[in-house]
Structure 1
Amino acid sequence: MKMTPVAILAGSVFILIAVILVVVILPYANTNQTIPSELFRKRSIAEESGRKLYVSNGCVYCHTQSIRAVDWGLGAERIAKAGDYLQDYPILLGSQRTGPDLSQEGGEHPDDWHLAHFINPRYTRPLSIMPPFAFLKSKGIKTLTGYIQSLGLKHADRRMQRQNKWKKESIKAYEAGVIENVNWLHNQIPKGWREIPTPYPATEGSLARGEKIYQDFCLGCHGPVGDGMGPAQPYIYPPPINFTILKNRGITGGMIYYQIMNGITGTAMPYFKRELESEKIWDVGNYVAKYFIDYLDANQEPKGIDAAYEP
């Protein structure tokens, strides 16, 4: 067959139509057959308004909303499904993870943590490179937070119910006074953990590592001297714990470890079990105990295996 200009044009048009059919039309048609996932629900009008802010401020360029198979190793509880995104248009899967994946962010933190974080991300995450969003003002931040707290849909709703329940408990304990607040914190820790001393020695190297970890993760809320007066403090209630009031109150290394590992639900204290290895949690616990609480039980029995990096 002779390749005339007409034949070339006709062939090109045919290929273009075929590509559009396969890449655009057929996948779009199949969306009507997608079954809602077990966590799907429709978002409220307020949550949709927050989503528009999320898009207009470019959050999707740094944050994904899709849990991938590789995330199993990072603590993910499920992989994203098509049925999670039935209401979303456009779907904000993202491709770059300059910041963390947010597909299950709802309920991971209480609202006041997000307020401090949006005012200035360094207040809650000292190493964050996220820009501040204080220009959104209180109303805009509240709207954006509402959307963030919806990420995870039904799963996020359950986490938020838990956050709100424990928020009331934590405020009640804080407002009851120092003794009641400390007792409440003690009671959130299983007895076994309350009786465990720090198994790793508080060497010069361990304390130096603990100081670095404290600066990288804790300083924004607890402040440089551990008095709970970090830059995030004005936005958080109940405020971050003042470590110095814990002197002579029976604080063990196991108690510090447990609360760093698991966080304190209902407060702005997050869990760090997915970010910090065991030895690092003990190291920062040693640092807090020695320099802020003024009581260090490291090297007391029972003693665990020395950290691999100890000489």
Structure 2
Amino acid sequence: MSASAQTWFITGSSRGLGRAIAEAALAAGHRVVATARNPRQLADLEASYGDRVRAIALDVTNPGQARAAVAEAVEAFDRIDVLVNNAGYGYFGGVEELTDDAIRAQIDTNVYGVVHVTRAVLPIMRRQRSGHIMQISSIGGRAATPGLGAYHLSKFAIEGFSESLASEVAPLGIRVTIVEPGGFRTDWAGSSMEHATPIDDYAPTVGAMRAVLNSAATPMGDPAKAAAALLSIAGRLDAPLRLPLGSDAALMLRGSYAANLAEVDRWAHVSRATDADDVTSEQLAALERMVKGLGAGASDAPLDVAAQS
């Protein structure tokens, strides 16, 4: 194992993208703390990689378990270089079709789970003055479709939480990347997906989306290539705040952003009409300069999907 080997802490490591990331990190010579509700599903990784992998039971909705898992990781490997908050699932159903309990459960795992693990790791990375937090969001954290309201609620929340976090921890040497996958060849839309009881009136909207999810179309994304993309940016000084994964993600997000900007422009006269009468041109100019400054670190280069794959 080289001196540049990193310690990765990955939630939801038993299958799907989390499993692919764990396998790729181990194959690259890194140390991995692989967590799952049932760590017995990770026994093969322990058998193959020995003391470079530690399988830990973790229910991310339990903040005490999150703190204990992080403490065990640090005891085993002394540090945590990369946190991948991957644990989560989708719940399909129209907003009216969802139960209160289903919405709470979606938020508990997809939002509070990320919050608990992130907060448990932050003191370690602060002490190190280094680290990279990768939040597995989704194109569904920036663009919404019918039938996934609870899922979008959770992923939009993670986007805002992580963007705020990124600005707080950057001076401490800690980077945050929000990973926005498109469709990947995992069981996200299969056995991992939970479903609400349909209401017939929503057949043209929610039902149409359900048909898409149930179709035989094979997703474009390769989990192994997604894992390789994340390994390629881990710890980089120029790591992006947001990283769409997959050609579908890049295309859908570009379309969504363009539509959003067009609507902002269309209704700008209404937006401006709400300014107080004493707002000056100097104030508006200062605001424009501040907004440009906030975006100064963003790259204007076209997204190279092939390079990410």
**TM-score grouping bracket, smaller chain normalisation:** under 0.3
The structure with the largest strand share of the pair is 2
TM-score by length of 1: 0.25
TM-score by length of 2: 0.25
Larger CA Rg, structure 1 vs 2: 1
